[in-house]
Amino acid sequence: MAISVEEALNLIYTLALPTQTEIVPIENAIHRVLCETITATYSLPSFDNSAMDGYAVRSEDAGKTLLQSCTIFAGDGAEIRMVEDQCIRIMTGAKIPQGCEAIVPIEEVSVNKDQVTFPAVIKPSQHIRLKGEDIQAGMVLLERGVMLHAHHISLLASQGITHVKLYRRPRVALFSSGNELKMHYETLGANQLYNTNTPTFTARTEELGCDVIFTGTAEDTLESIQEHIRRSLNADLIITSGGVSVGDADFTKEAFTSLGFENAFESVDIKPGKPTTFGRIGDTVILNLPGNPLAAALCFELFGQSTILALSGRSDKYLSTITTRIGEAFKMKKGRRSLIPGWFNGENFTPSPKFGPGMVLPLSRANAFMMVDEKVEGFEAGASVKIIPTRWCMSSETQNSLITL
Ligand SMILES: Nc1nc2c(c(=O)[nH]1)N[C@H]1C(S)=C(S)[C@@H](COP(=O)(O)OP(=O)(O)OC[C@H]3O[C@@H](n4cnc5c(N)ncnc54)[C@H](O)[C@@H]3O)O[C@H]1N2
Ligand code: MOO
């Protein structure tokens, strides 16, 4: 019996859990997932400092002409105090001297040798960056489960952190099965075709931050598929394509079952991709996708990507959607939850002109897909739809409904 997409995703979230951790220098931590909470040791700024190249004064010095006593540069270590009827030249980033109440930028004064004349109005605290106005010591900067982007690395560097504890990248083993398949670097025989699914999964799995192990193409025999499974069992996740239907050469299920496969689901109420199968052998989770390239690639986006986000330890492991409008009226058959690729141009979404499950072209010309409820028979132009991007990652810390009703 086919289960719903929601049930399938929940089974994935139950079985796909992050495993090991490692300590990594922050230079190598980009796009990796943090496995600790980072709190601030230092306030930022860590001392009051000048936001301008200018002069340190007191508010009462407005309109006066004062003697310049000295200059303070960024990084100077001396503790300096203001003296009455004198000003101090100060550079951006230098520590504010004791007794200073404002900074007047160089452009706003007139200088005659060592005498400096100030404007008639000086606002208290102007151009002073206060200690802790950006970050306060003790505040939480990053939570466990965050995927580190460049501006998170800024936070780590700002605190003098050299190494962080990260989840290990998921190890993903990939293989396809089919006597008709050849790799793109092999010679095609009569009525054969190039394996497009494994290269697609390799590229997408790497994009999602995994280490990929490609074990080759299995033949359509029980023994060959078993051999590929055995070679893959040290991975966190095995993704296969092909051989999950009911044909005379479809041995994927039998091969996995013979090696102890515990099945979570083997049929999903979705088009394309109904025979999608998920489960585990020991600690290795397994996703068997159908052979048809568009079915395999779309179900990878939905089920494979969800599995990888969960295995990566991300707190934002749930796929999320963009709500937009459909560009033109669109008719479809009701009865099964459908995945429809298309192009989102920032304003509206246009379904691909053709999207047969065996096709390769549609996803190369798409940047998103929509998952349409089984009751829907079509949309009027301008109707609201939810799309799931394929070329940039929209995910969320809460599990949202992905369906367009
Ligand atoms: N009697 C039935 N026949 C089929 C059913 C069904 O319910 N009853 N379902 C159809 C659907 S839907 C799908 S999807 C496929 C799933 O089949 P398999 O997962 O067993 O895949 P294969 O038979 O191995 O291949 C299907 C198709 O895809 C091509 N293929 C396979 N692997 C690759 C690859 N790595 N790269 C490129 N193309 C690949 C293969 O040559 C076939 O054309 O079953 C339907 N039949
Ligand atoms: O379910 Mo198949 O996956 O339509 O192509």
Pair (118, 201) in one structural domain: no
Query: Is the CB of 271 inside a 6 Å radius of any atom of ligand 1?
Result: no
Helix (H) or strand (E) holding 382: none
Please check the confidence at residue 396 and state whether its pLDDT lies above 70.
Answer: no
Is 148:165 a contact under the CB 8 Å cutoff? no
ipTM of the complex: 0.96
Please check the confidence at residue 395 and state whether its pLDDT lies above 70.
Answer: no
> Of 81, 105, 129, which residue sits at a domain end?
129
**What CATH number is associated with residue 58?**
2.170.190.11
Place of tokens 């002069």: 55
Please check the confidence at residue 394 and state whether its pLDDT lies above 70.
Answer: no
Pair (212, 157) in one structural domain: no
Is 385:309 a contact under the CB 8 Å cutoff? no
* 281 burial type by CB count under 10 A (0-12 exposed, 13-18 middle, 19+ buried): middle
Closest C-alpha residue for ligand 1 atom 8: 246
pLDDT of residue 245: 81
Closest C-alpha residue for ligand 1 atom 2: 246
Per-residue exposure over 363-402, b if at least 16 CB sit within 10 Å of its own CB, e if not? beebbbbbbbeeebeebeeeeebbbbbbeeeebeeeeeeb
Please check the confidence at residue 325 and state whether its pLDDT lies above 90.
Answer: yes
Ligand 1 centre and the CA of 72: distance in Å? 74
Tell me what the mean pLDDT of segment 286-312 comes to.
97
Q: Which residue out of 245, 339, 359 has the highest number of ligand 1 atoms within 8 Å of its CB and is therefore the one to mutate?
A: 245
Tell me: the pLDDT tens digits for 223-258?
A: 999 999 999 999 999 999 988 887 777 889 999 999
Tell me: the pLDDT tens digits for 6-55?
A: 999 999 999 999 989 999 999 999 999 999 999 999 999 999 999 999 99
Query: Is the CB of 295 inside a 6 Å radius of any atom of ligand 2?
Result: yes
Pair (256, 185) in one structural domain: yes
Tell me: the pLDDT tens digits for 257-279?
A: 999 999 999 999 999 999 999 99
Considering Cα of 248, then 250, then 251, then 256, what sign does the dihedral take? Answer: negative
Please check the confidence at residue 393 and state whether its pLDDT lies above 70.
Answer: no
Tell me what the mean pLDDT of segment 184-200 comes to.
95
C-alpha of 303 from chain center: 16
Q: Domain range spanning residue 295? A: 5-20+169-311
Ligand 2 centre and the CA of 293: distance in Å? 9
Q: Which residues, including other chains, have CB under 8 Å from residue 128's CB and lie 6 or more apart?
A: 48, 49, 50, 51, 96, 100, 102, 103
Domain count, the chain: 4
Beta strand pairing call for 110-112 and 211-218: unpaired
pLDDT of residue 249: 74
User: What DSSP assignment string belongs to 169-230?
Assistant: PPEEEEEEE-TTEE-TTS---TT-EE--HHHHHHHHHHHTT-EEEEEEEE-SSHHHHHHHHH
**Longest Cα–Cα distance in the chain:** 97
Query: Is the CB of 291 inside a 6 Å radius of any atom of ligand 2?
Result: no
Pair (31, 68) in one structural domain: no
* 177 burial type by CB count under 10 A (0-12 exposed, 13-18 middle, 19+ buried): buried
**What CATH number is associated with residue 242?**
3.40.980.10
